[in-house]
Amino acid sequence: MATLYIVSTPIGNRGDISLRALEVLFKVEVILCEDTRKTGLLLEHYRQTQKLTGKPDLISFYEENEEKRIPQVIGWLKAGKDVALVSNSGTPLVSDPGFKLVRECVGKNISVFPIPGASALLAGLVISGLPTDKFIFLGFLPKKQGKKEKLLEKARQIQEILPQTVVFYESPFRIVKTLNLLAEKMPEARVVVGRELTKKFEEVERGKPAELVKKWGDKKIKGELVVMFS
């Protein structure tokens, strides 16, 4: 029986790939991709810059088709085909598809190996200047304001019991609303927002929620965001 590899890829800077990740991606027979086009471009970059060979089959694997794909993937693994799972960027399964597949593999005693690497969650946390010994990760916040408010309030209550940094991902289209909510509910919180980490236009803003609203309120925000507060 073969192995499923959970392979982390860069969140922006393509130099942030590990040697082991490259070895695995170019030796497996199948790569499950959140977006086959993006993964194809990533692999082509390393073929050219690292002189690598190997052409695995790129198969689409995203939230909407994950359950449908799982029996097929299990079949490949049982037939002896090594398979890698990647997301568009960062570490798979962290706010990305893959949990159900890994659960199925574990249940069928199929080997699952992690190939660690980049993660926006950890990249943001370690440069935040906020406590890193304990943290709670909320993933992407709910789109509905009421549910978002309840979740952030619960996180705040947990902080009161056990002080720790709260980390979550947010859409650039909703970040100002979320900062306004923090300004209303937790005006004294220390907030850090990392945008496009490791990329050309990387930006990190620190301050109280109202201060960040003042900075970003009139701007058209783009890119991926990781938000932290304590």
Q: What is the CATH number of the domain that holds 181?
A: 3.30.950.10
Strands 225-229 and 165-170 turn out to be antiparallel
**Same domain for 206 and 166:** yes
Strands ordered across the beta sheet of 3-7: 57-60, 30-33, 83-86, 3-7, 111-115
Residues 82, 152, single domain; the answer is no
Q: In the 8-state DSSP scheme, what is residue 11?
A: S
Q: In the listed set 88, 118, 148, which residue is the last one of a domain according to the structure?
A: 118
What is d(CA 3, CA 100) in angstroms, rounded to the nearest whole number? 16
pLDDT in tens, the chain (230 residues): 799 999 999 999 999 999 999 999 999 999 999 999 999 999 999 999 999 999 999 999 999 999 999 999 999 999 999 999 999 999 999 999 999 999 999 999 999 999 999 999 999 999 999 999 999 999 999 999 999 999 999 999 999 999 999 999 999 999 999 999 999 999 999 999 999 999 999 999 999 999 999 998 778 899 999 999 99
130-161 pLDDT, tens digit per residue, is 999 999 999 999 999 999 999 999 999 999 99
pLDDT given at position 220: 86
- CA of 104: how far to CAs of 69, 101, 109, 194, 196, in Å? 12, 5, 9, 34, 33
The size of the chain, in residues, is: 230
157-174 pLDDT, tens digit per residue, is: 999 999 999 999 999 999
78/184 same-domain check: no
The HSE-up count of residue 208 (CA atoms within 13 Å, CB side) is 9
99 and 133 part of one domain: no
Looking at the structure, do residues 93 and 149 belong to the same domain, yes or no? no
Distance CA 19, CA 164 (A): 33
Indicate the SS3 state at residue 7. strand
Residues 129 and 75 placed together within one structural domain of the fold: no
- Round to whole Å and give the CA distance between 229 and 218: 22
- For residue 195, give its domain range: 121-229
Rounded distance between C-alpha atoms, residue 26 and residue 156, angstroms = 44
